[in-house]
Amino acid sequence: MGNSISSSSQKASAVDTASAIFTEENTLMKEGSVVTLKNNFFKLFSELEHCTERVQKQKVLEMNGIMFQLHDDDLKSIFTVELFTGIFNMLKDKKKSFLNALLLLKYVGFWKVMKGISLDFTNKSLLKELKKMIIKEKDMKEKRNEKLLTDLCECIMMIFYQSLTGELHALSVSLLLKVALKKGNDKKTREEVEMALLALNGISKPLEQKYYLNEITDIIQYHQEHHNLTCLANQSAFHFLISRFKEDDSLKEVVLQKMHFVSEATKELDELNGSLNWDTHEKNFSEKMRVRIITRWLYLIFNTFRKEFNEIYGEVVELTACVSRVYALAKDYEMKIRKKCINLFYRIKITIGEDIFILAESGAANIVLERMCRPILDDNQTAKSKEILLSLSERLYKKKTDLKIDKKSWQMKKRAMFEMLEEEGYEDIITSFHEVM
């Protein structure tokens, strides 16, 4: 597999974010109000038809910068039928605007996925045109352009993710995995790998293990040794594998034991968290992308958490402690992250059962108590926090346990927990809470 890269390069790789075509120097961002940004977006789009290819590309890059700045709902409002119809018309003009239309479509797909936007419509003409292009290029055989084929598949996967079936679906998976398997650590390769893995997240149809398992296992394990993936690419690789759980239960053991998902997620979150300056609202492009990726990790952990996690108790304590650190630093700046942390603690509470002490050992109980003491409370978050505290207090005051451990061991564990709670300063609060309830 080659030599491991230096420790300094590993650190840089670990906190790297989105591919270079989406990085700060290419987004050409201009600050402005939402209305101004949206107006500028459509103004730029209307001008594309009358530009040279070079100027056209410059305007597409500016449009990408605007999409980055817009918040989720505002971004969704510019993904209109008119926009996709315009891109469809550009794609048909292959002499002048084809490559720029494809670039714009990739940008649209990228931000659609990164900001979790669901489209309320399907542009059938555009989808039909993309499929036609894929079939035409696929049938070229010796002269076929695999880079173009991959770009087309990425666009469909990110924008029309449920629309590929049969042979085209298998072709797309094969092409994207082939790109994702590239082992290079140069900027261009990392861009291509990241985009392919992000697009693979759009696969919702069942897949047999033979079509992907060896490849995705190799991608993740190679990264764990050589750190060749960006943090978004690594998260996307796990996302692709974990999304197959619903169709193949045997993958849980692969993810937890062979891929070491819990410890990997802990490491990634800690490095992302440590690379951010949470004390300022004015984050640059790279920092905002890291916040997005932290959000994606929390979402993935939430959806992955299973009873099987009981088997790796120590790793789960470390993961929960890591999430507590994310909350402690991000709570005043990123409401979405704060809510996802509380939701994850609640998921742990309802999943982990008898081992709810994880929430105390990791410091998550501190977070929940702090949440309950806020002067302004969110009903949903407060309700979940209350249930977590109630479960914790009930476990502490329960005289016997369903766990298959002897009474002496149980008493020792409770005594250690009470001592820790008292040392942390919230044993009296939980005791009072238990008595009131």
Give the model confidence (pLDDT) of 264-305 as tens digits.
Answer: 999 999 999 998 888 877 777 788 889 999 999 999 999 998
pTM: 0.83
- Give residue 18's pLDDT: 44
Is residue 2 a part of any domain in this protein? no
pLDDT single digits (tens) 94-108: 666 888 999 999 999
Alpha helices in 251-330 (DSSP H): 251-253, 261-274, 285-304, 313-330
- Of 119, 134, 155, which closes a domain? 119
- Of 119, 148, 181, which closes a domain? 119
Same domain, 428 and 353: yes
- CA–CA distance, 312 with 261 (Å, rounded to integer): 11
Q: How many other CB atoms are found less than 10 A from the CB of residue 222?
A: 16
| From 259-263, 418-422, 433-437, the region with the lowest mean pLDDT | 433-437
Read off the tokens for 284.
């640059």
Which of these, 34, 106, 116, 32, lies nearest to 292 by C-alpha position? Answer: 116
Same domain, 238 and 379: no
- CA–CA distance, 39 with 36 (Å, rounded to integer): 5
Same domain, 129 and 171: yes
Which of these, 323, 407, 394, lies nearest to 354 by C-alpha position? Answer: 394
Same domain, 271 and 387: yes
pLDDT single digits (tens) 218-265: 999 999 999 999 999 999 999 999 999 888 888 988 998 899 999 999
Is residue 302 a part of any domain in this protein? yes
Same domain, 192 and 151: yes
- CA–CA distance, 74 with 39 (Å, rounded to integer): 12
Alpha helices in 184-284 (DSSP H): 187-200, 213-226, 231-242, 251-253, 261-274
Q: How many domains does the chain have?
A: 3
Is residue 3 a part of any domain in this protein? no
| From 4-18, 212-226, 303-317, 419-433, the region with the lowest mean pLDDT | 4-18
H or E segment at 242? Answer: helix 231-242
The CATH number of residue 296's host domain is: 1.25.10
- Give residue 12's pLDDT: 37
What is the CA angle 301-23-332, rounded to 5?
A: 50
Same domain, 429 and 295: yes
- Give residue 168's pLDDT: 85
Read off the tokens for 193.
């790998």
239 or 205: whose pLDDT is higher? 239
Range of the domain at 278: 263-437
Same domain, 115 and 127: no
Same domain, 235 and 346: no
Is residue 1 a part of any domain in this protein? no
- CA–CA distance, 20 with 24 (Å, rounded to integer): 8
Same domain, 319 and 397: yes
Is residue 29 a part of any domain in this protein? yes
Q: How many other CB atoms are found less than 10 A from the CB of residue 38?
A: 17
Taking 60 as the threshold, does the pLDDT of residue 17 lie above it?
A: no
Is residue 249 a part of any domain in this protein? yes
Same domain, 273 and 245: no
| From 51-60, 79-88, 213-222, 357-366, the region with the lowest mean pLDDT | 357-366
Read off the tokens for 184.
């290079």
Instruction: Tell me how long the chain is.
Output: 437
Same domain, 410 and 349: yes
Is residue 329 a part of any domain in this protein? yes
187 or 395: whose pLDDT is higher? 187
- Of 259, 287, 316, which closes a domain? 259
Read off the tokens for 281.
């609202």
Same domain, 252 and 318: no
| From 11-25, 313-327, 370-384, the region with the lowest mean pLDDT | 11-25
Per the CB < 8 A criterion, the answer to whether 267 and 231 are in contact is no
